[in-house]
Amino acid sequence: MKMVPPWRLNQLLERVETGPICTERDFDLRILYPKLRSLIKEYDLKFDPEEIVPSDDSLADDLWNAAWDLYLDVGTLCLSNHRRILFEESEIKEAMRFSSSEITVGTGRDARRMGKREIEDTRTPHCILSPDITCDEEIFTPYTIAYLQEPLADGVCAPILDTIEGIPIKSGSPMEVKASIAHAMMFREAARRVGKPGLNLQSVGTAESDAAQIAVSNPEWGARPSDTRFVPSIAELKIDYSLLNKMVHFHQYGGIPGALFGPLYGGYSGGAEGTALVGIAFHIMALMVNQTYWSLYFPIHFRYSYNTSRELLWVLSVTYQALSRNTPFISLSGGFTDAGPCTPMVLYEAAAHGLASTVSGANLWEIATAENKHKNRATPLEARLACEVGYGSVEERLKREDANELVKGIIAKYEGKLGNAPLGKMFQECYDLKTITPSKEYLDLYEGIKKELGDMGVPSI
C-alpha cells in the first residue's frame, strides 16, 4: 500500500526558520481570533443544539471553505523562534493530491487497514483503544493486557508511567529516557502474552520529550516502523522545535507519524463554530507542518476537559463531515468523558461519542474518562461500548437524521450532570488483576446499560 513521503521536508524546515516574526500574543489576539470572528460571520456559521449530528452538506462545505481560508491566512506559529509558517494555496493542494487515504499499521497477521471514512460509511471504523491516563507502575502490565485483549482493538495506546522503580519521572531528564525504554519493553511483551505480537502499539506515552521518543525507536523491543507515533501540536495552531524533531526522526526511522491536537472550546477558538474551524485547520496543519499520515482529533472544553456535551459532539460531527466531503485525510475521533469508570454516565457518554463520530465519518480513539485527570481511572469497558456502538451504526446503515435523534436521547440521560459528574472507580476496583477480567459489578452495569440503549434503538454488536 503506497504511503507518499512528507511534503517537501527540506522546504518546510527552511520555512520554519524564515517565516515572518510574530509573538504568541499577537498570533492569538491580532491574527487568529479576529480572522475566526470574521469567517464565522462571513459564512454565517451557527451551532444548532437540536442538530448535534447535522444532515446539511452545505454546512459541512461552508465549514471546510472557511477553515481553508483560515489556515491560508493564519498558518502555524513555531514557538521556539516566534516565526509563522505559511503556505500558498497551490502548495496545500499539491500535498492533498498526493496524500494517502489508506495506510497499513501493525505487521504480519496483526496488520490492520486504517483509512479515510465517508459520512454514513459502510466500512467499520478503525479503533485504537487507550486509557489516556497515568497508572501505578505495579499494575502497568495487567492494565495494558486488558486493553490488548479487546477483540475490536486495531491498536492500543498503553497507560503512562509517572514513576519507574519508585522514582518520579521528570520530562526531559535521563529518568524519562530510562522509564520510556522500560515502558516500551513491557508494552511489547504484553502484546506477545496476548498473542498479538504484530499489533500496532501506538507511541510510548511515557516518552514526552523528543529525546525519549528517539530512544524507544527499536524494532526488536520498542517502537517499530509499523507502529504509529505522535507529532503533537500546541493549541491553537502552534508547534515547536521539540515536536518537529520528533517528526523528522519518525520519517527517517520509517515510522507512521500521526498528528495529535485538541482545540479548546471556550479558549481562543471561542464557541462551537470557531472550535470546529480551528479543528479543521489543524488537519491541514497536520499534513503540511506535522507531516503526518493520520490525525487524532479531540476538541475539549477549556474548563472541564470533556467533549461529550451537545456543543462538542456537534463540533466533532461537523468537522468529520467537512473532512469526509472535501479531503483524503485519515482521522480518529478522541473521546473525553466527564464521568469516571463503573458509572452509568460514563457508558452513556461513550455511546454518544462513538455513535456521533462514526456516522459522521470518523475512526475511533476510545476513551479518556474522568476528564483525563485521575490516575488509574479508565477501563476497556467504556472503550468497548463506544466501539461496539460505532460498529453497530455501520451494520444498521444508520443515517445522520436517525443518529441525531438517538444521540439527543442519550445526552438527555447525562447532560444535567456535566461539570459535576461522578468520579467512579479505579481500574483495580473494576478489574481482577490476576485474571484480568471485569468485576461482576461493572460487567452487570455494562450489560444493563447496553440493553437500555438497545431498547432506545441505539445499535451495537
In a domain, 304, yes or no: yes
> pTM (2 decimals)?
0.97
Judged on CB neighbours under 10 Å (0-12, 13-18, 19+), 94 is middle
Provide the domain count of the chain: 1
pLDDT digits (tens, 9 = 90+) for 28-51: 999 999 999 999 999 999 999 999
Residue 34 lies in a domain: no
* CATH number of 120's domain: 3.20.20.460
Number of other CB atoms surrounding residue 123 within 10 Å = 12
The string of pLDDT tens digits covering residues 378-403 is 999 999 999 999 999 999 999 999 99
Q: Assess if residue 26 is contained within a domain.
A: no
Q: What is the pLDDT of residue 5?
A: 61
pLDDT in tens, 277-333: 999 999 999 999 999 999 999 999 999 999 999 999 999 999 999 999 999 999 999
In a domain, 21, yes or no: no
**Whole-Å CA distances, 388 to 243, 312, 461:** 34, 21, 5
Q: Could you tell me if residue 155 is inside a domain? A: yes
Cα 85 to its chain centre, rounded Å, is 24
Q: Is residue 340 part of a domain?
A: yes
pLDDT tens by residue, 398-450: 999 999 999 999 999 999 999 999 999 999 999 999 999 999 999 999 999 99
**In angstroms, how far is the first alpha carbon of the chain from the final one?**
30
pLDDT classification of 8: cutoffs 50, 70, 90: confident
Residue range of the domain that includes 415: 102-456
- pLDDT tens sequence across 326-356: 999 999 999 999 999 999 999 999 999 999 9
Share of the chain above pLDDT 90, in %: 98
Domain annotation covers residue 124: yes
Q: Per residue in 426-440, is it b (16+ CB within 10 Å) or e — as a string?
A: bbbebbeeeebebbe
Residue 72 included in any domain: no
